[in-house]
């Protein structure tokens, strides 16, 4: 099965959560925007109801034969069992998908630090609001989310290596990317939280050392964080308390 990932070029963005799963599993996939001619047009065409009776609201979306799946959490729920990056029983699967959706919310709040007035305006047009929102985020929300995932690891009955059960899932790969992104965007604030997230930090290193991930991080396919993506480093927003 060759998977097709449809996502914007030039940023890691939300597509990166899907890429990490495919790369970890060494799956056969193409990244439409980069690997095909007129790739960007193809990404856009998939969003057009003139060409599709069921078009996603936004990228990323994934095609696998006749199946199309949109939204990161939905795609990872679909891919997880196929790539052996998911628990196998119903109760842990529901827990796993719930964690992925908490990560979705976390990512949305991280994005909103630089876009508190929404995606419709440039950062430059909402800088003052972004300064206020970031301060509240770094003071209240960032520690709340980090503490949550630290606790999930601490209370995992099978050990604190992975979020769900005793094996790596897509949720671990996603948490790894969120932590990497936060360290890029908010280096000062993240340094302050270092001691409160020892388990998360260890998980992050564990993920980075996985063969598929290590190979991917060293490759040209890994797009660097930049100021067009979700995780942006604006020094004026990285307020240490």
By the rule CB under 8 A, 205 interacts with its own copies: no
By the rule CB under 8 A, 55 interacts with its own copies: yes
Please give the residues from 138 up to 167 whose contact with its own copies meets the rule CB under 8 A: 139-141, 145, 148, 151-152, 154-157
Considering only 16, 24, 112, 172, the residue that binds its own copies (CB under 8 A) is 112
- Which tokens is 90 given? 């119903």
Considering only 2, 26, 67, 202, the residue that binds its own copies (CB under 8 A) is 67
From the list 35-43, 114-122, 169-177, 231-239, the region that binds its own copies by CB under 8 A is: 114-122
From the list 24-32, 67-75, 196-204, 226-234, the region that binds its own copies by CB under 8 A is: 67-75
Q: What is the contact surface with its own copies in residues (CB under 8 A)?
A: 49, 52-57, 66-71, 73-74, 77-78, 90-91, 94-95, 97-98, 101-102, 105, 108-109, 112, 116-121, 126, 129, 132-133, 136-137, 139-141, 145, 148, 151-152, 154-157
């Amino acid at each position: 099965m060759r998977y097709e990932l449809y996502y914007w070029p030039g940023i890691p963005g939300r597509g990166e959560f899907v890429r990490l799963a495919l790369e970890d599993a060494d799956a056969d996939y193409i990244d439409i925007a980069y690997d095909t001619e007129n790739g960007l047009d193809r990404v856009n065409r998939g969003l057009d109801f003139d060409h599709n009776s069921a078009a996603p609201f936004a990228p990323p979306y994934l095609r696998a034969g006749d199946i199309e799946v949109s939204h990161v959490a939905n795609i990872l729920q679909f891919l997880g069992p196929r790539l052996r990056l998911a628990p196998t029983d119903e109760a842990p699967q529901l827990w796993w998908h719930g964690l992925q959706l908490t990560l979705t919310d976390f990512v949305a709040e991280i994005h909103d630090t630089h876009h508190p007035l929404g995606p419709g305006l440039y950062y430059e047009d909402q800088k003052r609001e972004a300064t206020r929102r970031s301060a509240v985020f770094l003071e209240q929300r960032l520690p709340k989310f980090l503490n949550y995932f630290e606790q999930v690891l601490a209370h995992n009955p099978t050990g604190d290596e992975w979020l769900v059960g005793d094996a790596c899932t897509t949720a671990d790969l996603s948490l790894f990317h969120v932590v990497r992104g936060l360290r890029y965007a908010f280096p000062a604030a993240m340094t302050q939280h270092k001691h409160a997230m020892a388990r998360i930090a260890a998980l992050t290193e564990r993920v980075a050392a996985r063969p598929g991930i290590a190979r991917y991080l060293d490759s040209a396919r890994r797009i660097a964080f930049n100021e067009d993506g979700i995780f942006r480093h604006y020094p004026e927003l990285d307020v240490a308390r």
